[in-house]
Structure 1
Amino acid sequence: MKLPPADSPLGQLMATLPQVGRVEWIGLRPQRGVQMDEVDAATAVTGAGLVGDRYKGGSGKRGVTLIQAEHLPVIAALAGREPMPASLFRRNLVVSGVPLVALKGRRFRVGEVLLEGTDPCDPCSLMEKAIGAGGYNAMRGHGGLCARIVEGGTLRVGDAVAVAVED
């Protein structure tokens, strides 16, 4: 996604984020169809993914998946369910306090790791089974963001999430 020029009115609006976010939860998917492993920290490998996650070594555009913490109760409500555990959504990071949609096409830091938002993380058909009837539709528009790892390092629960300052 090409961002508008930074000095344009739309560019200025899109660049304005009132606060820094926070990593609330980290999970790894060791293989397809198994429960996610909740961890306090994970190692991000440049151009690949997270060590211990089944997507490590893929195309790189989906090195890390993120979901908005504030959207989890919305998804539950839209599915007619009580609050659900973060692992059910099969995203690597649950992030609060910063709108993930604003990070698409931007570079941002999660602790020491530099990421670049690449694509929406649309739900797959497995969400229907995981959440229940209507789960796929409940997640539409709330699936989060895929990001590639530009500079690796360690991600930790509690890390800040903020737009990277360009040099």
Structure 2
Amino acid sequence: MELPPPGTDLHRLMTRFPRAGQVQWIGLRPARDVPMREVGSAQASAGGGLAGDRYNGGSGKRGVTLIQAEHLPAIAALAGHEEIVPATLRRNLVVSGIALIALKGNRFRIGDVLLEGTVACDPCSRMEVALGAGGYNALRGMGGLCARILEGGELRLGDAVEWVGA
């Protein structure tokens, strides 16, 4: 959603965050249909993706995929699981403490890396296998966010996630 004009109440509401978020988990997808590899840090390339990830060098709008840590228990409950490990959902970053949907269409920093939220990261048909029957629908609305990498650098566990602007 595009930000309303500065000085309006809605602009003020949409640009105020209670606190910075934090990176809780980082994973790389080395190739299609192979398990994700959990890492402590990853190198992000401007206009590309993460080194070692299958999407590196591909479409800039999907340079990094993020999912909300707070949604993992809800997805698990809807899919009939006690818990879900992040690698199951095949997103690069699990982030807590900041509403990812509020970053869509906006710029934000994770450590030294500047990103721009592009589109919702909708579930794919693989979730039916990963989560069981109905897994696709269990993830709908909570699939996270895709982001374009505007300035590269290293992403690390524990890095702050902070809104920068539109």
Question: Is residue 72 from structure 1 mapped to residue 72 from structure 2 by the alignment?
Answer: yes
Structure 1 ranges of 4+ moved more than 2 A: none
In the alignment, the residues of structure 1 paired with residue 6 and residue 56 of structure 2 have an alpha-carbon distance, to the nearest angstrom, of: 33
Q: What letter matches 1:15 in structure 2?
A: T
RMSD over aligned Cα atoms: 1.0
Kindly state the Cα deviation for residue 51 of structure 1 after the two structures are TM-superposed.
0.4
Kindly state the Cα deviation for residue 3 of structure 1 after the two structures are TM-superposed.
1.8
Q: What letter matches 1:83 in structure 2?
A: E
Kindly state the Cα deviation for residue 165 of structure 1 after the two structures are TM-superposed.
5.9
Partner of 1:60: 60
Question: Is residue 161 from structure 1 mapped to residue 161 from structure 2 by the alignment?
Answer: yes
In the alignment, the residues of structure 2 paired with residue 165 and residue 106 of structure 1 have an alpha-carbon distance, to the nearest angstrom, of: 6
Question: Is residue 137 from structure 1 mapped to residue 137 from structure 2 by the alignment?
Answer: yes
In the alignment, the residues of structure 2 paired with residue 42 and residue 141 of structure 1 have an alpha-carbon distance, to the nearest angstrom, of: 27
Q: Check the 8 A contact 1:6/1:15 in 2, yes or no.
A: no
In the alignment, the residues of structure 2 paired with residue 155 and residue 10 of structure 1 have an alpha-carbon distance, to the nearest angstrom, of: 31
Kindly state the Cα deviation for residue 11 of structure 1 after the two structures are TM-superposed.
1.1
In the alignment, the residues of structure 1 paired with residue 63 and residue 4 of structure 2 have an alpha-carbon distance, to the nearest angstrom, of: 25
- Scaled by the length of structure 2, what TM-score is found? 0.97
Flag structure 2 segments of 5+ consecutive residues without an equivalent: none
- Scaled by the length of structure 1, what TM-score is found? 0.97
> How many pairs align?
166
Q: Deviation digits for residues 38-96 of structure 1, max 9, x if unmatched?
A: 00000000000000000011120000000000000000001111101100000000000
Comparing 77-86 and 37-46, the one that deviates more? 77-86
Flag structure 1 segments of 5+ consecutive residues without an equivalent: none
